[in-house]
Amino acid sequence: MNYNFEEILETIKMTEIEHFDIRTVTLGISLRDCIDRNVEVSKQKIYDKIIKYGSKHVKYAEEIEANFGISIANKRVSITPISIPFDSYKTDEFIEIAKVLDKAAGEIGIDYLAGYSALVQKGFTNGEMEMINSIPFVLAETKRITASVNVASTKAGINMDAINIMSEKIKQTAELTKDDDSIGCAKLVVFANIPEDNPFVAGAFHGVTEPEAVLNVGISGPGVVLDAIKNAGSVDLQQLAELIKKTVFKTTRAGELIGRKVAEKHGIPFGIIDISLAPTPAKGDSIADILVAMGVEDVGAHGTTAALAMLNDAVKKAGLMASSSVGGMSGAFIPVSEDEGMIKAVERGNLSIEKLEAMTSVCSVGLDMVAVPGDTPATTIAGIIADECAIGVINDKTTSVRIIPAYGKSVGESVDYGGLLGLAPIMAVREISSDRFVKRGGRIPAPMRSLTN
Amino acid sequence: MNISDEKIREIALNAIKELGDNANQQNVKEVVEETIKKLGNSLPEKSTDMDQVILTSFGLNKPGVIAAITKALSEANCDISDLSQKLMGDFFTMIMIVNTSNSTLSLNEIQNKMKKISDEMKIKIMMQHEEIFKSMHRI
């Protein structure tokens, strides 16, 4: 037999017991040719194009799932950052476009469509300003649209004006969606160094240098890594790194195969595989549990950042060996609400927002799905975003903030969205003010790239 | 066979050029259809890759389990290229490599048949294309 018993059973164990699945296959579609002076014509073009490329997306993914016996958790679509082709539109027109996108997404049977985005790290065009003003209304009035705004990059520096505006928009979104635990904020991410080929919602978009349509895939599999570490017993850290690498190598290979097969069915190019370990609220599908299995008592203990750094690095090394198409974020996600272990660590008082921020300096994204009191001032949120951007810009990495100032709630309460978004306990923020610093506005200049101490 | 919209447009444009002034909707359509047919014939109908599927089954051992699976496979004109089985007490695990190249049914249809057996016999049966094991366990 070409394969031995153990190999076959290992794969079956991964998919059946350890929750190994493909987290997302994301179809990127360019909307650059959909602009028209008449918004009605644009709307029709957008709708037609998404239906044309996307109508079979779910069907194809399901066929591949059945063929290989590996489930694909999410089938999604990303589009050209909406502010780019439609720069001449006004806020009301952007809202209309978002509604069409929402309708098309529903029609093709996907849960999220990402790319309601703007890239303003250096400044705003008039259209980008109009589009950003529409974000809170779009997130309140649509179900499937996710928005992202890039406010900083290593090459451009940190646009504090944009951060101040986004903090106000986050607060406004929280208020407009207050009846649903401010869920709008769970669909809005503020980025530094945003990648153009990220398949993971809510931060996904179809970059301007991407082809007409492309298929990107994001793998998952914290459960697989967790079990491997648990079974390893008391080995030293080098051996542990080796073990993580071997496991992630296999999951990456499976992910690339699935991505290529779905792309083949679509007849479009395969783009990248994002090897991020992405948790879900399901039991055993947790990054926090991996860190605990590595040896810290709970997430937040001293040593957590080191453990996360090692995990993230091992994941990258394995992924790069396994595939030549690694892209996107590719690291370990540490969202609070989407990870059972993280939720518990916050509830037990072991994980603070400050420690979480330190962890984001070595992991793939940033402060993700963090709920804070509803009365947190916008300037404090701006301070949090600015800190996160500084980490990203100085370290030449992607960082992001997806923060939920839960309207009318305070520390001790929580917001509960169910499903993949999970439950977020409200975390305390510093009560001292960032006001005078962030209100200066302007731009923090781009950093130097030598003398990096 | 899948032919992209662009390709069809290209064929149509060529046809119009060739037909010159005589081109009308009817004869362009005929030329395009003929060309597509020719293109289809020049390509092999089925890929030469063997469609190897790995069937894994486990559960409590009872008479007739293997018979039921192999019977269904043979009815679907599938060829069993390799088989290995282990018994641990009452618990059995069986792995088969099945060649479905000549099958009259699609993998999905075979999987549905297995689903039936798996419900009747209260065992677990999985059929996965070989490529997933190749990509995970072979460099």
Calpha distance A194→A166 (Å, rounded): 16
Give the C-alpha separation, A78 to A115, whole Å: 5
Partner-chain contact B4 A267, CB within 8 Å: yes
pLDDT given for residue A104 in this prediction: 97
Does the pLDDT at position B18 exceed 90?
A: no
Q: Across residues A228-257, what is the average pLDDT?
A: 94
- Confidence at residue B50, expressed as pLDDT on a 0 to 100 scale: 61
Please name the residue of chain B whose CA is at the shortest distance from the CA of residue A321: B139
Q: Which residue in chain B is spatially nearest to A9 when comparing CA positions?
A: B56
Picking from A2, A63, A70, the nearest residue to B132 by CB comes out as: A70
d(CA B52, CA B78): 10
* Model ipTM over 0.95: no
pLDDT at B45: 45
CB A399 within 8 Å of CB A193 = yes
H helices within A154-215, ranges in order? 160-176
Residue A174 above 60 pLDDT? yes
Give the closest-approach CA distance of B128 to chain A in angstroms: 4
Backbone dihedral region for residue A162 (phi beyond 0: left; psi -120 to 50: alpha; all else: beta): alpha
- DSSP states along A356-368: HHHHHTTSSS-EE
What is the pLDDT of chain B when averaged over all its residues? Answer: 83
Task: State mean pLDDT over A140-158.
Answer: 97
* Helix (H), strand (E), coil (C) string for B22-87: HCCHHHHHHHHHHHHHHHHHHCCCCCCCCCEEEEEEEEECCCCHHHHHHHHHHHCCCEEEEEEEEE
User: Which token pair is A10?
Assistant: 């290992």
- A311 close to A244: Cβ distance less than 8 angstroms: yes
d(CA B114, CA B111): 5
Determine, for residues A11 and B137 on separate chains, whether the beta-carbon distance falls below 8 Å: yes
Residue B47 has pLDDT above 80, yes or no: no
Lowest mean pLDDT segment, chosen from A190-194, A221-225, A296-300: A221-225
Residue with more model confidence, B58 or B37:
B58
Chain A with chain B: Cβ pairs closer than 8 A: 64
Contact A412, A326 (CB under 8 A): no
Closest by CA position to A3, among listed B71, B53, B49, B126:
B53
Region of residue A270 (phi > 0: left; psi between -120 and 50: alpha; otherwise: beta)? beta
Cβ atoms of A175 and A139 within 8 Å: the answer is: no
CA distance A161 to chain B (A): 46
**What is the C-alpha end-to-end distance of chain B, expressed in Å?**
31
Instruction: Please determine, for residue B63, whether its predicted confidence score (pLDDT) is greater than 50.
Output: yes
* Chain-chain contact of A12 with B126 (C-beta, under 8 angstroms): yes
Contact flag A257-B132 (C-beta cutoff 8 Å):
yes
User: With bands split at pLDDT 50, 70 and 90, how would you rate the model's confidence at B3?
Assistant: low
| For the ranges A84-88, B6-10, B33-37, B69-73, the one whose mean pLDDT is highest | A84-88
Interface test with A, best of B1, B125, B135 (most A CBs within 10 A): B135
Q: How far is B13 from chain A (nearest CA, A)?
A: 23
Asked whether A158 and A166 are in contact (CB, 8 A), the reply is no
Q: Is pLDDT larger for residue A6 or for residue A410?
A: A410
Nearest to A3 among B4, B126, B137 (CB): B137
CB contact under 8 A, B128 and A67: yes
Q: Residue A368: pLDDT band by 50, 70, 90 thresholds?
A: very high
Average pLDDT of span A356-367: 92
With beta carbons under 8 A apart, name residues in chain A contacting B127. 69
**pLDDT tens for residues A17-47?**
888 889 999 999 999 999 999 999 999 999 9
Instruction: Judge whether A360 and A329 are in contact, CB under 8 Å.
Output: no
| Average pLDDT for chain A | 94
A67: nearest CB among B82, B129, B133: B129
Report the predicted TM-score, pTM, of the whole model to 2 decimal places. 0.87
